[in-house]
């Protein structure tokens, strides 16, 4: 798909409507993690450097088309100003945006109040989109994480004015294209997490696209059970056994190797440092649960990484939140980071648990690209069209 970037746009003297994702965690009126705010800084700085006036459009929480004072973007303004090193003026209503005061005009950056306060946003209402479009000259979408939503500020607006991708959107699309669109082969995908049922589309798409698929976490238990192995009291979707077998058959037909645990770490309770043992995969006791993959499994995953040129990672290999059941995820993540650092692997990862797991392993900084987009990242991996991206390519 072809889409324009900020490099393709003349922004001098232009008002640039910039869709961003600054939906950050807040406690007691303070931003507790400004990562998403920090990630929009290059786009805003580039717009300013090109002589443009950034007008930020953002959502916060789920107000469902109503004004909810607790979800005002006012609370984010100090963190935005700190990250940008610029004055940010909150415009509380669309009426206010249509009739800017001299004081607002003088601010470096304008921030429209929570766009989801308006029912027209989530309805992708064309009239609402037209009202938004009239506020600016150019549209820039820098919110890949909201690109799977067909909303007025992510989809309809792009058809109404010159449009481009911001730096974060550009980086995300380039990383995903390198991982799944036209990747260097062999390609390995790691998919973990609790349930097969939530990742059916993902698994089905990946076995057609990758050379090796590593399945970990609770999902692996469902595949093991589908092969007739005992998984004790483990998290397992026994009703998904037929589906798991269908995925394995499809993988074999496509020439995709599936790696499941060869050895397992089991315990009787899910608590930190619970008494545990490492066993061959077919020896799980009836009263135990599988909480991690064992060292033989990790060695096999590392071997796959060594042979690969591209890695896509979504989800942990075990119960990474507590020791010692984080060992497989940590070891595999560090090996991938080492290969990436050596220039031998392109590694792209995404999804909430994934980012947390790679951070815990101390591996995140060495990955080629880490997506914080969550749902949009997953839908891209599932092979679905994202409305916000498609709109930029029209």
Asked if 248 and 256 count as a contact pair (C-beta separation under 8 A), the reply is: no
**14, 74, 195, 384: the active-site residue:** 195
Question: In the annotation, is 352 catalytic?
Answer: yes
**341, 375, 383, 384: the active-site residue:** 375
Q: What is the 3-state secondary structure (H, E, C) of the chain?
A: CCCCEHHHCCCCCCEEEEECCCCCCEECCEECCCHHHHHCHHHHHHHHHCCCEEEEECCCCCCCCCCCHHHCHHHHHHHHHHHHCCCEEEECCHHHHHCCCHHHHHCCEEEECCHHHCHHHHCCCHHHHHHHHCCCCEEEECCHHHCCCCCCCCCHHHHCCCEEECHHHHHHHHHHHHHHHCCCCCEEEEECCCCCHHHHHHHHHHHHHCCEEEECHHHHHHHHHHCCCCCCCCCCCHHHHHHHHHHHHHHHHHCCEEECCCEEEEECCCCCCCCEEEEEHHHCCCCCEEEEECHHHHHHHHHHHHHCCEEEEECCCCCCCCCCCCHHHHHHHHHHHHHHHCCCCEEEEECHHHHHHHHHHCCHHHCCEEECCCHHHHHHHCCCCCHHHHHHCC
**19, 36, 53, 199: the active-site residue:** 36
Query: What would the two tokens of residue 46 be?
Result: 């580039």
Spatial distance between the Cα atoms of 308 and 300, rounded to a whole number of angstroms: 13
**352, 362, 393, 394: the active-site residue:** 352
Question: In the annotation, is 375 catalytic?
Answer: yes
Question: In the annotation, is 192 catalytic?
Answer: no
| Active site amino acids | 36, 195, 352, 375
């Amino acid at each position: 798909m072809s889409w324009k970037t900020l490099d393709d746009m003349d922004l001098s003297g232009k008002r640039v409507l910039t869709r961003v994702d600054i939906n950050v965690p807040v406690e007691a009126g303070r931003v507790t993690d400004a990562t998403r705010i920090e990630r929009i800084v290059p786009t805003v700085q580039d717009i300013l450097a090109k002589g443009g006036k950034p007008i930020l459009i953002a959502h916060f929480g789920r107000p469902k088309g109503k004004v909810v004072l607790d979800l005002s973007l006012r609370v984010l303004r100090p963190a935005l100003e700190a990250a940008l090193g610029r004055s940010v003026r909150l415009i509380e209503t669309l009426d206010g945006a249509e009739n800017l005061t001299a004081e607002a005009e003088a601010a470096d950056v304008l921030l429209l109040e929570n766009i989801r306060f308006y029912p027209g946003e989530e309805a992708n209402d064309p009239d609402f989109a037209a009202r938004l479009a009239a506020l600016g000259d150019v549209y820039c979408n820098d919110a890949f994480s909201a690109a799977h939503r067909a909303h007025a500020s992510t989809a309809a607006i792009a058809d109404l004015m010159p449009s481009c991708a911001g730096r974060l959107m550009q980086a995300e699309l380039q990383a995903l294209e390198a991982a799944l669109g036209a990747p260097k082969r062999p390609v390995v995908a790691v998919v973990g997490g609790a349930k097969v049922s939530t990742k059916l589309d993902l698994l089905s798409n990946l076995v057609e696209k990758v050379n090796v698929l590593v399945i970990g976490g609770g999902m692996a238990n469902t595949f093991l059970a589908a092969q007739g192995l005992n998984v004790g009291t483990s998290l397992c979707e026994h009703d998904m056994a037929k589906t798991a077998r269908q995925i394995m058959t499809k993988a074999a037909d496509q020439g995709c190797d599936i790696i499941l645990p060869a050895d397992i770490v089991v315990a009787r309770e899910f608590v930190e440092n619970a008494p545990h043992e490492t066993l061959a995969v077919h020896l799980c006791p009836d009263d135990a649960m599988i909480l991690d993959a064992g060292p033989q499994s990790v060695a096999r995953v590392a071997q796959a990484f060594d042979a690969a040129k591209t890695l896509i990672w979504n989800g942990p290999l075990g119960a990474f939140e507590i020791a010692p059941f984080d060992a497989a995820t940590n070891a595999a993540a560090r090996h991938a980071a080492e290969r990436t650092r050596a220039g031998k692997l392109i590694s792209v990862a995404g999804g909430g648990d994934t980012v947390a797991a790679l951070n815990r392993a101390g591996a995140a900084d060495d990955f080629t690209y880490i997506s914080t987009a969550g749902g949009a990242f997953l839908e891209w991996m599932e092979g679905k069209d994202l409305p916000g991206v498609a709109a930029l390519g029209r």
